[in-house]
């Protein structure tokens, strides 16, 4: 009865405005916990208040920045609005706006991270013990299992060299060493073929890597197929480039959440949001649906 009344009290404070987060609500939640302790309830008996606590969190952050670019911002915001609506139905509050350029280890390890997309390499190398895996967007990539993707080796269209091995002494541009698609996958691919790129330089982004090849600062780079699709659509200079070879498919860029949030509820909310999105929005963002890929599949990539 104590718990039920406390739960009802918090709902009365918040229900007319699910985004509202104030001291009264926070106090109400803490009072519910304290009342339960005083009345000797087991913590497992009050875990159903977890969703109510999610309503009153003040500092939640979220981002969808891995494929962030100005041309997609409107569609990303529509996607996020649908996710928020779905979360609201499940008694979850959420940030009104996505954080722009919301990526990097500090951002992904933030305990108030509700939802973000990360790269597979940082997930298995740094994050898998600190965050929960929500699911993986399926970008409808031909020749891949749902949620999987691959990298493309890209060179100048005027190049006469036809084999990857012909570029072993050339300059390889990569975005960063903690990138699955830009560094780890291509390096593994060439190592499996018996060679490595001896001349490399770091550019900071897939865009910069691609531009460096066009400008003659590098001879070859690697970019994931989804990012390449967006660049081919929006960046005219990519007409001067071509795909030389592709890497073996691996699990794609996963959605993650802080370890304190319920990843299953968030998965369901994203799934529902994608079902509600128009075909135009999904096609523009290239997302078909969200799928579950076991954590072990990410951790087993060598």
- Please give the backbone phi and psi of residue 16, each rounded to the nearest 5 degrees, phi first: -75, -15
CA–CA distance from 78 to each of 16, 280, 285 (Å)? 23, 11, 11
pLDDT in tens, 181-215: 999 999 999 999 999 999 999 999 999 999 999 99
Domains of the chain as residue ranges with CATH = 2-55 (no CATH), 61-145+252-299 (3.40.190.10), 151-248 (3.40.190.10)
Percent of the chain scoring above 90 in pLDDT: 80
What average pLDDT does the chain have?
A: 87
d(CA 247, CA 208): 20
At residue 57 the predicted structure's pLDDT band, cuts being 50, 70 and 90, is low
pTM of the model: 0.81
User: Under a CB-based contact definition with an 8 Å cutoff, are residues 52 and 29 in contact?
Assistant: yes
pLDDT in tens, 236-250: 999 999 999 999 999
Enumerate the β-bridge partners of residue 172.
200, 220
pLDDT at residue 302 in the model: 86
Residue 58, pLDDT above cutoff 70:
no
d(CA 40, CA 34): 10
**Which DSSP string corresponds to 13-66?**
HHTT-TT---HHHHHHHHHHHHHHHHTT--GGGGGGGHHHHHHT-S--EE---T
């Amino acid at each position: 009865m104590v718990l039920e009344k406390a739960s009802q009290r918090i709902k009365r404070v918040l229900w007319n405005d699910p985004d509202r987060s104030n001291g009264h609500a926070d106090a109400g939640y803490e009072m519910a916990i304290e009342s339960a302790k005083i009345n000797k309830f087991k913590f497992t008996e009050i875990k159903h208040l977890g969703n109510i606590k999610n309503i009153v969190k003040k500092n939640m952050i979220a981002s969808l920045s891995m494929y962030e670019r100005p041309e997609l911002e409107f569609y990303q915001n529509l996607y996020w609005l649908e996710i928020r609506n779905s979360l609201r139905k499940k008694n979850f509050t959420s940030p009104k706006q996505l954080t722009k350029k919301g990526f990097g280890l500090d951002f992904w390890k933030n305990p108030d991270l509700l939802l973000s997309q990360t790269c597979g390499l940082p997930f298995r190398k740094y994050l898998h013990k600190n965050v929960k895996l929500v699911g993986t967007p399926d970008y409808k990539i031909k020749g891949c299992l749902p949620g999987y993707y691959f990298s493309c080796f890209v060179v100048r269209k005027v190049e006469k060299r036809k084999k990857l091995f012909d570029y072993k002494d050339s300059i390889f541009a990569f975005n960063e060493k903690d990138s699955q698609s830009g560094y780890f996958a291509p390096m593994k691919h060439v190592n499996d073929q018996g060679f490595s790129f001896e001349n490399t330089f770091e550019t900071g982004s897939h865009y910069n890597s691609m531009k460096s090849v066009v400008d003659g600062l590098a001879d070859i780079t690697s970019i994931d197929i989804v990012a390449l699709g967006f660049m081919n659509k929006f960046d005219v200079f990519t007409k001067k480039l071509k795909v030389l070879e592709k890497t073996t498919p691996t699990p794609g860029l996963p959605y993650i959440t802080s370890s304190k949030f319920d990843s299953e509820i968030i998965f369901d909310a994203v799934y529902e949001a994608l079902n509600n999105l128009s075909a135009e929005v999904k096609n523009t963002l290239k997302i078909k649906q969200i799928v579950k890929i076991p954590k072990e599949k990410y951790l087993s990539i060598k």
